[in-house]
Structure 1
Amino acid sequence: MRIALFSDIHANLPALEAVLAHMDTQNLDAVYCLGDLVGYGTWPNEVVAEIKKRRIPTIAGNYDEGVGLASPNCGCAYKTDAEKDLGQQSIDYTNSIVTEETRNYLRMLPRQIRLTFMDDSKPENKIEVLLVHGSPRKINEYLFEDRPEKSFLRLLEEADADFLFFGHTHKPYHRTLAYEQDGQTRYRHAVNIGSVGKPKDGDPRAGYVILELTPESTLTNPESLKVEFVRVAYDVEKAAQAIEASPLPNEFAQMLRTA
């Protein structure tokens, strides 16, 4: 089974279209979106319309929650007053242009999706997969790669997740976390799937993840479960110039160019 997961489009339609076109070539069995469809870009309604048209199961990000509730607060963490001012311009602009149809869709998105994979002939190989935006505890909690291993393991155990997929930081990574159970070494996995429309890892290309499971996949052998990070080039200038032609701060355009 091949499952694609993507997140943090942030109203960047050219990036989303490029990712979806690439997914169409990947022989996928399922596709999931982990939220933050809107904010910072110029196409919030168009991005939502594309997700709806394809009937992609989607959870809410913190930005979706804020816009869905017509709130002036996106639940973002800004480090400086200058960043806070830019962020305020973003959510004010997004709130001013979204349609009621878009707002209603965002407001009704679920906060989590759980997937259970089990071969009835091998019940010991059951794999629990949890999809969230920030963390299992909070929609806007940042799970950075340098989080201590014990803290990550405790978080996944409390969430009953063998695989935790999330976004929000816009920085992709895969942590494999070993633990002992019934005399065996088993593994949990924490996977940040990066960002489609606003990467922050120095690579301006759109990103998503493919999880591949087979009948031989087991939690005792991390090599039997494949997580592939995919990067897709798109027309960054089209997205950047659309921002520059809008009331949004030009700083957002430069962020797309430099990631």
Structure 2
Amino acid sequence: MRIAALYDIHGNDRALEAVLKVIENENVDKVIVGGDLAWGPQPKKVIDKLFAYKNEFIFIMGNGDRELFEHYKNQKRVENMVDELNEWCVEQLSTKQLEWLGSFKFSHVEGNNLFIHGSPRSDTEAIRLDTPENEVFEMIKNVNQTVIICGHTHIQFKRDIYAKKVINAGSVGLQSRAKGACWLLIDADKYNLKITKYDFKVAAKEIMLDGCPYKENFADHVENPPYEGP
């Protein structure tokens, strides 16, 4: 079985489109979307695309999806940047799409693979490239599967932690330490970290036209992915 895992799209329409085109030619049996779909500069374009696959792809809830849904349900006051962007994203999406975002599950098991957004304990707990092994062990020690696939930190890596393997698929839309849309292709027992090139300059220009709060920050991140972490 061939599985494509797409994480942390963060409202980057052109990056998502590029990865979907590649996947169409990869003879993929399943697509698993690992959370944080809409929170970003182009939520409507991204959710319109993914909503069309709601009965085909498997969707896992990221902290961004959960927080956006909670903002929609609770009509939270805008007190900071995150609230402001959540409110703007809510305004771009239909009620049906927002309710769909709130229906995602926390994790998904596929054979010997556990797919989660952050860690098996929390969608906000980060397993990083440099998180000490003893700390990661505490997060994953109760997992029955051997391979844990996560996202959240936007940096691709593979790590062997005691008897388990932890793989971060990276970020499709707001990647760090990579010049392209990052994702994971699983082919039987092979785990291939992929980087799909797309036109960053065009993507940044489109983001600037879409009216998102802090659009300058998003456009700059897309055009000039930061080199963060160890």
- TM-score calculated relative to the size of structure 1: 0.78
Instruction: Map Cα deviations across residues 13-52 of structure 1 (whole Å, 9 max, x no partner).
Output: 111110010111112222111011111212x233223223
CA shift for structure 1 position 194 = 0.3
Partner of 1:124: none
Instruction: Map Cα deviations across residues 202-236 of structure 1 (whole Å, 9 max, x no partner).
Output: x23101011222xxxxxxxxxxx321111111122
Distance 1:252 1:87, change over 3 A: farther
Partner of 2:228: none
Partner of 2:144: 160
Cα distance in 1 for residues equivalent to 2:201 and 2:86: 22
Secondary structure at 1:158 match in 2: coil
Cα distance in 1 for residues equivalent to 2:24 and 2:39: 26
Structural mapping, 1:54-203, within 5 Å: 54=53, 55-69=56-70, 70=72, 85-116=80-111, 128-178=112-162, 187-201=163-177, 203=178
The 8 Å contact of residues 114 and 130 in structure 1, kept in 2 or not, is answered as yes
Partner of 1:184: none
Cα distance in 2 for residues equivalent to 1:157 and 1:242: 44
Structural mapping, 1:28-47, within 5 Å: 28-42=28-42, 44-47=43-46
CA shift for structure 1 position 141 = 1.1
Structure 2 residue runs without a partner (length 5+): 226-230
Identity between Structure 1 and Structure 2 (%) = 26
Cα distance in 2 for residues equivalent to 1:150 and 1:198: 28
Structure 1 residue runs without a partner (length 5+): 74-83, 117-127, 179-186, 214-224
Cα distance in 2 for residues equivalent to 1:145 and 1:72: 36
Cα distance in 1 for residues equivalent to 2:218 and 2:14: 15
Partner of 2:193: 229
Instruction: Map Cα deviations across residues 117-166 of structure 1 (whole Å, 9 max, x no partner).
Output: xxxxxxxxxxx211111111111111111122233234322122311111
Paired residue type of 1:95: V
Cα distance in 2 for residues equivalent to 1:226 and 1:98: 37
Distance 1:72 1:238, change over 3 A: farther
Deviates more, 1:165-174 or 1:64-73: 64-73
Cα distance in 2 for residues equivalent to 1:97 and 1:52: 14
CA shift for structure 1 position 110 = 0.8
- 1:204 equivalent among 174, 179, 182: 179
Secondary structure at 1:210 match in 2: strand
Secondary structure at 1:9 match in 2: coil
- Over alpha carbons, which structure has the higher Rg? 1
Partner of 1:219: none
CA shift for structure 1 position 86 = 4.1
Secondary structure at 2:88 match in 1: helix
| Root-mean-square deviation (Å) | 1.9
Instruction: Map Cα deviations across residues 173-211 of structure 1 (whole Å, 9 max, x no partner).
Output: 000234xxxxxxxx311011000011022x231010112
Distance 1:244 1:56, change over 3 A: same
* Segments ≥4 residues shifted beyond 3 Å: 84-89
Secondary structure at 1:255 match in 2: helix
The 8 Å contact of residues 158 and 165 in structure 2, kept in 1 or not, is answered as yes
Distance 1:257 1:14, change over 3 A: same
